[in-house]
Amino acid sequence: MNDTEAKKRRWYLVGAIAVASSALGIIAFGNIGENLVYFWDPSQVVAAGDKSIGATIRLGGVVETGTVDWNPDANELEFIVTDGSETVEVHCSGAPPQMFREGIGVVVEGTMTKSGIFKSDRLMVKHSNEYKAPSEGESVEELYKTVEKL
C-alpha cells in the first residue's frame, strides 16, 4: 500500500467517524428532549395550563391538611398539594409511605391529566436531619434538597 492510498483511507475513516458522531449527537439530543423531567411547584403547573399535560413532572409542595384520602382496597391515595398560593389534586397509586402525613413536604412524580388531576406512581416524602415540621412557605428548591432518594 502506498502513502497516498493510506492517506485517502484515513480521510475516509475520519469522514465516517464525523458522520457517525453527528448522527449520535442528533439522536442523543432528540432523545433527551423527549425524556426531560420538570421540577415544578403547584403555581408553575397551574400557570402552564394545558402545556403541563403529558409531560413528566416532579411536583413539589406541602400536603394540605384535611385532604388525605386513602383507600387500602383500591390502593389509591388522594390528596391536595399546595405551595401556599395554588393547589393541585394528586391521585397516587400505592400506599402512603410510613412518614407520610398531612402538612408534610412531598415530591410526586407523574403527569397532569386532562381532568386537571395529577396522576403519580411515585411519592417521596421530604425528610430532614432534625425533628421539625416543615415551615410554612418553604421554597420548593429547599424541598428538593431534602427529599428521599433524590
CA distance 150 to 131: 20
Q: Is residue 37 within the footprint of another protein (CB under 8 A)? A: yes
- Three cell numbers, residue 1: 500500500
Site for another protein in 44-63 (CB under 8 A): 56, 58
Contact by Cβ (8 Å): 117, 91: yes
> Which three cell numbers mark 105?
413536604
- Least Å distance, CB 112 to another protein, is 16
Task: Record the cell numbers describing residue 6, joined without a space.
Answer: 493510506
C-beta of 11: minimal distance to another protein in Å?
13
Choose the binding region for another protein from 46-54, 81-89, 112-120, 139-147 (rule: CB under 8 A): 139-147
Identified binder of another protein from the candidate list 14, 19, 24, 47, rule CB under 8 A: 24
Question: Quick one: which segment of 25-33, 46-54, 61-69, 81-89 binds another protein (CB under 8 A)?
Answer: 25-33
**CB 123, CB 108: distance < 8 Å:** yes
The neighbouring-strand residues paired with 118 are: 90, 112
Burial profile 75-90: b = 16 or more Cβ within 10 angstroms, e = fewer: eebebbbbbeeebbeb
Q: Report strand pairing: 105-112 vs 56-63.
A: antiparallel
* Interface with another protein, residue 96, by CB under 8 A: yes
**Nearer Cβ to another protein (43/93):** 93
11 binding another protein? (CB under 8 A)? no
Residues that bind another protein (CB under 8 A): 1, 6, 9, 17, 20-21, 24-25, 27-29, 31-32, 34-39, 56, 58, 72-73, 75, 93-100, 127-131, 141, 144-145, 148-149
